[in-house]
Amino acid sequence: MYEFELGPIRPPSEAHSILLRTTRNCPWNKCAFCPVYKNEKFSLRTLEEIKADIDSMHGIYSKILEKVNLDTGGYVSDKIISSLVNDDKIPQNYIQQMLFWMYYGLKSLFLQDADSMVMKSAEMVEILNYIKEKFPTIERITCYSRSKTLAVKNIDELKKIREAGLSRVHIGMESGSDEVLKLIRKGVTGNEHIIAGKKVVEAGFELSEYFMPGIGGRKFTAENAVETSKVLNAINPSFIRIRTATPVPGTGLYSMMENGEWEPLTESEKVEELKNMIEGLHDIGSYIQSDHMMNLIEDSNGKLPEEKEKILAPLNKFLQMSLDDQECFIVARRTGSIRFLSDYSRNKDFIELRDRIKERFGSIDKAAVALSATSL
């Protein structure tokens, strides 16, 4: 009664959201770069299963409210936690998740897993209505989806889903280039990205499109930037989120790299590619957000078109640095010594760290690939 099913991932922007699993795993599950859901079978959860999870969330919430009130000063004591675990038989990890959500006001919910929009639209509407019935404080409900799925939805059913409460859709675009999309086995074309994205925008959703600098490797770096800009210009999404390509051991992309079929860009070349893509964006009002640990430069954020120079400034700053400073920053960033380019200043510790890393891995870029993969 007091449990609900959880999938493996969510966007970083949903850190304060409760997670509700509407589907299990990924209906495509063939992308060469993705380590998630491998060897897992996709399935749709039934309405009964999903509603039971919502009921469990509400039941845990209600039990907490019974014990945390004005008499306790609104605080959660060890005694209250013990009572919830021992008397009410609620597993502690679910109590923690609900308390965390309550702390942030029960305002946002994320539908898992990789493509919630693959559900029948009428069932999605029913679930959204049930969520709002149980938790009227919710202000934002979001999900992942695939362009392939959304491209075949008609605009009327998308509008009904929007009216029922789904407010934001996250799409892993990765690239706008057909050649790159074919290379990474994305199962979609640039034109399908445009069709899907424009439908989502027209239906009134906020739309996050994800771009992967470097995903085309050395062969397609120019095309990856240019074609992605074209697709994004056609869509005009709410957000363009940067997710730098990282070959993870066990994935098809990593095997392609080992076999010489895909040559990774250097850290500097990926920054250059990202710069070229952003420079190609025109007449759109998207937010650029570099909100992931795999991005070398997390400082590049802002609203187009008015903040375009602000977004590009950290990228240009890095590219204009000396090779020594670039290497020192890369190792400091990839080892977690600093997070932002704005935090960097050349010092003895970073120089010594750079020298040790180069001695161990042979080059900074080989080290960056290894360190990025192991930090995922």
Q: How confident is the model at residue 233 (pLDDT cuts 50, 70, 90)?
A: very high
The token pair at 187 is: 């199962």
Return the closest-CA partner of residue 13 out of 181, 167, 232, 150.
167
Report the C-alpha gap between 17 and 100 in whole angstroms. 9
| Cβ-contact 234, 194 below 8 angstroms | yes
Question: What was the pLDDT predicted at 1?
Answer: 76
Task: Please state the φ and ψ torsions of residue 58, each to the nearest 5 degrees.
Answer: -65, -35
| Cβ-contact 158, 199 below 8 angstroms | yes
pLDDT for residue 165 is more than 80: yes
Domain boundaries for CATH 3.30.750.200 within the chain = 104-374
Question: What was the pLDDT predicted at 204?
Answer: 98
pLDDT for residue 72 is more than 70: no
> At residue 46, what is the residue type?
T
Report the C-alpha gap between 370 and 226 in whole angstroms. 28
Q: What is the mean pLDDT of residues 217-239?
A: 98
Q: Is 312 exposed, middle or buried (0-12, 13-18, 19+ CB in 10 A)?
A: middle
Q: Is 5 exposed, middle or buried (0-12, 13-18, 19+ CB in 10 A)?
A: middle
| Cβ-contact 242, 290 below 8 angstroms | yes
Question: What was the pLDDT predicted at 32?
Answer: 97
Fold topology of 104-374: Transcription Regulator spoIIAA (3.30.750)
Q: What is the mean pLDDT of residues 67-95?
A: 85
Residues in CB range of 223: below 8 A, 6 or more apart: 177, 179, 180, 216
DSSP helix/strand/coil, 7: coil
pLDDT for residue 106 is more than 90: yes
Q: What is the mean pLDDT of residues 322-332?
A: 96
Return the closest-CA partner of residue 211 out of 296, 288, 269, 314.
288
Question: What was the pLDDT predicted at 145?
Answer: 98
Q: In which residue are the tokens 């989120």 written?
A: 241
Q: How many CB atoms lie within 10 A of CB 51?
A: 16
The string of pLDDT tens digits covering residues 7-48 is: 999 999 999 999 999 999 999 999 999 999 988 999 999 999
Residues in CB range of 4: below 8 A, 6 or more apart: 20, 21, 53, 54, 56, 57, 94
Q: What is the mean pLDDT of residues 298-314?
A: 98
Q: In which residue are the tokens 């890095």 written?
A: 318
323-334 and 348-361 helices cross at what angle (nearest 10)?
80
Q: In which residue are the tokens 């309405």 written?
A: 47
Q: What is the mean pLDDT of residues 166-181?
A: 98
Question: What was the pLDDT predicted at 369?
Answer: 83
Q: In which residue are the tokens 């099913």 written?
A: 5
Report the C-alpha gap between 117 and 262 in whole angstroms. 32
Question: Considering the chain, what percentage of its residues have pLDDT values greater than 90?
Answer: 90
Report the C-alpha gap between 202 and 254 in whole angstroms. 37
Q: In which residue are the tokens 């392939």 written?
A: 148
Question: Considering the chain, what percentage of its residues have pLDDT values greater than 70?
Answer: 97
Question: What was the pLDDT predicted at 71?
Answer: 59
Report the C-alpha gap between 13 and 18 in whole angstroms. 12
Q: How many CB atoms lie within 10 A of CB 268?
A: 18
The token pair at 29 is: 């599950």
pLDDT for residue 73 is more than 70: no
Q: How confident is the model at residue 207 (pLDDT cuts 50, 70, 90)?
A: very high
Report the C-alpha gap between 171 and 181 in whole angstroms. 14
Question: What was the pLDDT predicted at 70?
Answer: 53
Q: In which residue are the tokens 């009134």 written?
A: 204
Return the closest-CA partner of residue 175 out of 120, 240, 249, 97.
240
Report the C-alpha gap between 116 and 113 in whole angstroms. 6
Q: What is the mean pLDDT of residues 153-160?
A: 97
| Cβ-contact 231, 239 below 8 angstroms | no
Question: What was the pLDDT predicted at 374?
Answer: 61
Q: What is the mean pLDDT of residues 338-348?
A: 95
Question: What was the pLDDT predicted at 371?
Answer: 74
